[in-house]
Structure 1
Amino acid sequence: MVTFPLVLGPMMRYVDETSASVWLETRSAARISIHAGGRDWAARTFAVHGHHYALVELDGLEPGTVTPYVVEVDGTPVWPDPSSGFPPSMIATLKTGKPLRMAYGTCRTSVPHDATGNRTHGVDSLRAYALRMAAGGGPPWPDLVAFLGDQVYADLTSEQMQEFISARRDIKAPPGEELKDYEEYAHLYYLAWSDPANRWLLSTLPSAMIFDDHDIRDDWNTSLSWKKKMEATSWWHGRIVAGLASYWVYQHLGNLSPQERAEDDLWQQIARHTGGDEIDVGPELDRFADRADQDPGSYRWSYCRDFGDTRLIVVDSRAARDLAPDDRALVDEAEMAWLDGRMRGGFRHLLVATSLPFLLPMGLHYVESWNEAVSQGAWGKLAARAGETMRQALDLEHWGAFQNSFRGMAALVTDVADGKRGSAPETITFLSGDVHYSYVAEVDRDSGSRILQAVSSPIRNPLPRLMRSFAAIMSYGLAAPVGALVARSAKVPDPPFRWSSLKGPWFDNNLACLEAAPEGLKLWWQKGVVDGDHSRPGLERVASLTVAPRSAEHPAAGHRRHLGFRPAAGGRSATQRGARLSGRAPSRWRPFR
């Protein structure tokens, strides 16, 4: 019996005007070749704990071109598979000056795409998106898809993952049904990325990624007491080392540009190896992951990319935390300094991708800021212990629960919006997920950039109905003024600005898209829908919105003031503020450009 040599991939990762990076996993050590446009590029695999990977760097490409490619393993063509029914995989380089078009989302569980899986977890919106793209027709494809956390769930495993765990160890012994080591992470990624439709999609559409808590464990780095509790277990050290090591291999390596990889010490060990045998970097990767956990300042997971007149900053809001009780921060001092250097004007749109929403519904923001103050002793030691228990039980650990970081980021974004860091962008938009519902909010401002929060969550992991009610309550009505009173009772200062909802929340599994269009920043959300055949879901638009620049607004329109989420008499609607909203409508796609 002949075994197919590819385990995962090929995955199209970092792509710019003249270069592309293709990642894959093979069953054994091999030489990988990629043929495209009459040229060839090759790389040897490297080994990690018995697994074999390659990242092939393609250079000298023509800007704005779309070229089919073929992958060979030791001289044997393995991709594309002509029997798959999917179109050829493509390398689509960026075109200089072309406005950015991208998709993004978070929170995707890996369960089968049958009637049972769709009943328990809903339709995979990424897979529905892939099938629509493969069918052709409709608007142009995006330049990039950004996965903003929880691509894999290391702590909430599926039946398929539990079968794998049970076959190799006692699943009743700690950590039980959760992941234990690198081998189990490798299988979890296989379950996440091996579906044929999604595999084809990721072989063509460039991707960028960042982790959130479930990539490691729920509440990862919520607080110092949480970390000490984990470190006291017999299994945590193996989990965090395996989680960060596998993240570097499966997700982070492909985020980097060729120049950034050239500055990565671990990658340079791989790149410098020119011998005939495969290099094994498993031990060094484990040491690196351990160091990155113990000393967050030793490595940076955040990154920044410019797409013409749009800048995308992808922020690590998990590993780079300062957990010291008296100085806790969502991003530590070094990470904030890095952000300070990249939060700049001079772009038409500034996108800040952070898995955790910067602007939660204001009622929930107040609750989280109150909980942080109580956990730090505002109401005494007994209340502090109760506050810490609540923090972990209710996942109160977003930007609002780290007031130092929230206010630091608020100051940066306000400076950019006021034109103090170069010419003010039309929009500054936080792209986020995590909360398992989607919404759009905007900071109330009279001038400068429009500051927005656009959440897309989940791709496939719907919120239980009881939690949906809680989310809706925290988004509307009396939640904000009541939350404000609670926060003030713990002497928490009011936020430096106020914000209000433009649209949402809604709870569909969905994938968001955005486009830097001439009329403004266009955003829309799409979900998968089943019409009989669970294996072939369709794609339906859930919501859409266009955010026009202030200069495009009606000159006589006054800015909407806001108190407790209720517009004052005579205030103008979201449409008058430059946001054009539309209802449900089908969406169709056509191939690149």
Structure 2
Amino acid sequence: MPGDLVLGPLLRHVDSSSAAVWVQTSRAAEVSVRHDDEDGERVWRARTFGVHGHHYALVEVDGLRPGERTAYQVLVDDEVAWPSGDGEDFPPSTVRATPEEGPVRLAFGSCRTSVPHDAVHHVSHGVDALRAYALAVRDGEKGPLGTEPDLLLLLGDQVYADSTTPAMQDFIAARRDLDEDPGPELADYDEYAELYRLAWGDPALRWLFSWLPSLMIFDDHDVRDDWNTSVRWREEMEATSWWHGRIVAGLGSYWVYQHLGNLSRRERAADPLWVELLRRQEASPHEEVDLTDAVDAFAELADREPTSYRWSYTHPLGRSHLVVVDSRAARQLEPGDRSMLDHEEMRWLDDQLTGGHEHLLVATSLPFLLPRGLHHLEAWDEAVAEGGWGRRLVGVGEWLRQELDLEHWGAFSRSFDRVTRMVDEVADGERGAAPCSVLFLSGDVHHSYVTEVERTTGSRVLQLVCSPIRNPLPRVMRAVVAGMSHAARPLGTLLASSAQVPDPRWRWHGVAGPWFDNNLALLEIDGEDLRAAWVGGRILGGEHDRPRLTTVADLSLDVPPVGSEHRPALAHVHPGVVGGLRGRVLRLRERVADRGR
């Protein structure tokens, strides 16, 4: 029956000949993916595996033709479970193998809370940009790019383990006392499973996930705010009665719900948990394997010894290349040797940042480039917390770090400097043919913007940020952030100098933004040319269940001739929306919609 499918199908890693389809079922079963093509009916099967009493399957679909799109069904024990037949009017779910040529279109964003889509929550949380986009595509609207994306990249905080909704708190309260630690925050795997059900259970999102391949990476709220900010933060968490259960459940559920689908078939074949699952399934081919003990042991080891597992990964994008970087679990926090990435992870990233691609994309949940004043402020705070203003102020630096979330790349100065050197070498053609651009894609900061590194030769280097999908800053905080972006520059520079923090190698400036409402970013790569748009939703005529897609910004960022030092200035932009514009963009088209609700 259709109810056998709790979540999914989610179409995950897709390449030119294969695809991974992930589901959660209500019971142990055999899951099949079936589709018809010119060669007739084809079926791929996988048995579910269990984790803490929940049931999952990842079906590997192979033998696909590049660029071919085919409708498919999901069956549970040979009964059709998807399409669900629940009366929702959505087109058939399809799988499309990656074409070998042509433009690449990528949607990305971060920070999405899971609350109802009604008048009350549209006031408190805004319109869900991802759901608004799904409904627009269903109804034949293509958005500013004119066609659907090839891939959805979710850059963290898809679930909030530390800031739960009333629905999640009701679930928790039915299991344990909310007055006992960790209170309304998540405590174990069962609670994570319910959190994912609430996050991914909306019919429009289930349909979107069923045909749009997705890749994911965690950020702090997937586990807890400020996750791995510092040694002091770790010590405070480990002193609690509940942290061990949280981190084991958080990393274990992340592997099941998010990370497993990031991997290609070859990468899964080398993954230790997947290998263990296959070993157990081979020993018991007709029964569901319970993987609970292996998942828990794996998660505990991954937290205790971060070098035991790599959450970062790469993904080809036609002639371009995507590198997704774990900027949370791989941190090295020891005073005097702090690094956003531990030594092994940094070596891995060094190996991935190479030329020979049309464009090189680096996705990291935390923006690599903040406004320069804020970058200086974070670098200063790191120095103070390390004793740069004397031992008596170390505690002040640590307090500021946690209270103000001063823990982005700027707060890991040596890491920032090392990565800028790597990227400069790529952009200058020292690691193979220089790409047209190096693009950093990020989220986290609850506002969206574009910045560019000031270079006169070689590849362009830009930062594109999209945050939040649905979790907007209060309006008073928007004013604070906008003001700090400017006011912090002289203050941050002065403070950093006082703590003898060297200036960063790069200089960069704002190109567009900030935009504060809920957004989903759309990026098109067509040869040398780049185009980026930010879209959201708004309510018209009180139709809260059917928001209308709006275009917040539509930017065409053409690559200049090699050696060009200047680009024409912009003819006109809407006042107050685009800031810090300097001659680094050949064309920029900005359309700002009336965001009234």
Q: Same fold (TM over 0.5)?
A: yes
Task: Give the unaligned 5+ runs of structure 2.
Answer: 571-579
Partner letter of residue 499 of structure 1?
Answer: W
Work out which of the residue numbers 70, 74, 85 in structure 2 matches 1:71. Answer: 74
Q: Tell me which residue corresponds to 1:96.
A: 100
Q: Report the alpha carbon displacement of residue 497 of structure 1 after superposing the two structures with TM.
A: 1.2
Partner letter of residue 329 of structure 1?
Answer: S
Q: Does 1:144 find its partner at 2:151?
A: yes
Q: Report the alpha carbon displacement of residue 28 of structure 1 after superposing the two structures with TM.
A: 0.5
In 1: Cα distance, 2:502 partner to 2:568 partner: 28
Work out which of the residue numbers 212, 226, 230 in structure 2 matches 1:223. Answer: 230
Q: Report the alpha carbon displacement of residue 475 of structure 1 after superposing the two structures with TM.
A: 2.2
Q: Tell me which residue corresponds to 1:162.
A: 169
Q: Tell me which residue corresponds to 1:380.
A: 390
In 2: Cα distance, 1:143 partner to 1:496 partner: 35
Q: Tell me which residue corresponds to 1:33.
A: 32
Q: Tell me which residue corresponds to 1:125.
A: 129
Q: Deviations over 1:228-248 (max 9, x none)?
A: 110010000000000000000
In 2: Cα distance, 1:553 partner to 1:137 partner: 40
**Paired residues for 1:175-190 under 5 Å:** 175-190=182-197
Q: Does 1:322 find its partner at 2:332?
A: yes
Q: Deviations over 1:229-268 (max 9, x none)?
A: 1001000000000000000000000000000000011101
Work out which of the residue numbers 206, 211, 216 in structure 2 matches 1:209. Answer: 216
In 2: Cα distance, 1:136 partner to 1:555 partner: 42
**Paired residues for 1:347-426 under 5 Å:** 347-426=357-436
Range that drifts further, 512-521 or 484-493 = 512-521
Work out which of the residue numbers 252, 268, 271 in structure 2 matches 1:264. Answer: 271
Q: Deviations over 1:310-339 (max 9, x none)?
A: 110000000000010110111111111001
Contact 1:361–1:474 at 8 Å: present in 2 too?
A: no
Work out which of the residue numbers 112, 116, 121 in structure 2 matches 1:112. Answer: 116
Contact 1:552–1:578 at 8 Å: present in 2 too?
A: no
TM-score norm. by structure 2 comes to 0.94
Work out which of the residue numbers 577, 583, 588 in structure 1 matches 2:591. Answer: 583
Q: Deviations over 1:368-402 (max 9, x none)?
A: 00000000001112211011011001110000000
Q: Deviations over 1:101-139 (max 9, x none)?
A: 110000000000111111110000000000011112432
Count of matched residue positions in the alignment of Structure 1 and Structure 2: 573
Q: Does 1:86 find its partner at 2:90?
A: yes
Contact 1:310–1:350 at 8 Å: present in 2 too?
A: yes
Residue 556 to residue 291, structure 1, CA distance change in 2 (3 Å): closer
Partner letter of residue 243 of structure 2?
Answer: W
Partner letter of residue 511 of structure 2?
Answer: L
Q: Report the alpha carbon displacement of residue 205 of structure 1 after superposing the two structures with TM.
A: 0.4
Work out which of the residue numbers 40, 48, 51 in structure 1 matches 2:51. Answer: 48
Partner letter of residue 174 of structure 2?
Answer: A
Q: Report the alpha carbon displacement of residue 423 of structure 1 after superposing the two structures with TM.
A: 1.2
Q: Report the alpha carbon displacement of residue 579 of structure 1 after superposing the two structures with TM.
A: 4.0
Range that drifts further, 549-558 or 191-200 = 549-558
Contact 1:554–1:576 at 8 Å: present in 2 too?
A: no
Residue 576 to residue 415, structure 1, CA distance change in 2 (3 Å): closer
Q: Deviations over 1:195-237 (max 9, x none)?
A: 0001110011000000000000000000011001100100000
In 1: Cα distance, 2:562 partner to 2:137 partner: 33
Q: Report the alpha carbon displacement of residue 577 of structure 1 after superposing the two structures with TM.
A: 3.4
Residue 578 to residue 129, structure 1, CA distance change in 2 (3 Å): same
Residue 172 to residue 573, structure 1, CA distance change in 2 (3 Å): closer
In 2: Cα distance, 1:45 partner to 1:22 partner: 12
Partner letter of residue 578 of structure 1?
Answer: L
Q: Tell me which residue corresponds to 1:335.
A: 345
SS in 2 for 1:461: coil
In 2: Cα distance, 1:409 partner to 1:451 partner: 12
Contact 2:106–2:149 at 8 Å: present in 1 too?
A: yes
Range that drifts further, 309-318 or 540-549 = 540-549
Q: Percent identity?
A: 56
Q: Report the alpha carbon displacement of residue 546 of structure 1 after superposing the two structures with TM.
A: 1.7
Contact 2:569–2:582 at 8 Å: present in 1 too?
A: no
SS in 1 for 2:45: strand
Q: Deviations over 1:401-444 (max 9, x none)?
A: 00111011111111111111111111111000000001100011
Contact 2:48–2:55 at 8 Å: present in 1 too?
A: yes
Q: Report the alpha carbon displacement of residue 84 of structure 1 after superposing the two structures with TM.
A: 1.7
SS in 2 for 1:435: coil
Q: Deviations over 1:327-364 (max 9, x none)?
A: 01111111110011110111111110000000001111
SS in 1 for 2:397: helix
TM-score norm. by structure 1 comes to 0.94
Partner letter of residue 165 of structure 2?
Answer: S
Q: Deviations over 1:52-92 (max 9, x none)?
A: 00000001111101100011100110101242211110001
In 2: Cα distance, 1:244 partner to 1:471 partner: 31
Partner letter of residue 137 of structure 2?
Answer: M
In 2: Cα distance, 1:556 partner to 1:346 partner: 25
SS in 1 for 2:3: coil
In 2: Cα distance, 1:279 partner to 1:194 partner: 25
Q: Tell me which residue corresponds to 1:563.
A: none
In 1: Cα distance, 2:34 partner to 2:396 partner: 60
Contact 1:99–1:309 at 8 Å: present in 2 too?
A: no
- Structure 1 stretches of 4+ with a deviation exceeding 4 A read 552-560, 572-576
Q: Does 1:520 find its partner at 2:529?
A: yes
Task: Give the unaligned 5+ runs of structure 1.
Answer: 561-571, 587-593
SS in 2 for 1:4: helix
Work out which of the residue numbers 196, 202, 208 in structure 2 matches 1:195. Answer: 202
**Paired residues for 1:425-436 under 5 Å:** 425-436=435-446
Work out which of the residue numbers 57, 60, 69 in structure 2 matches 1:57. Answer: 60
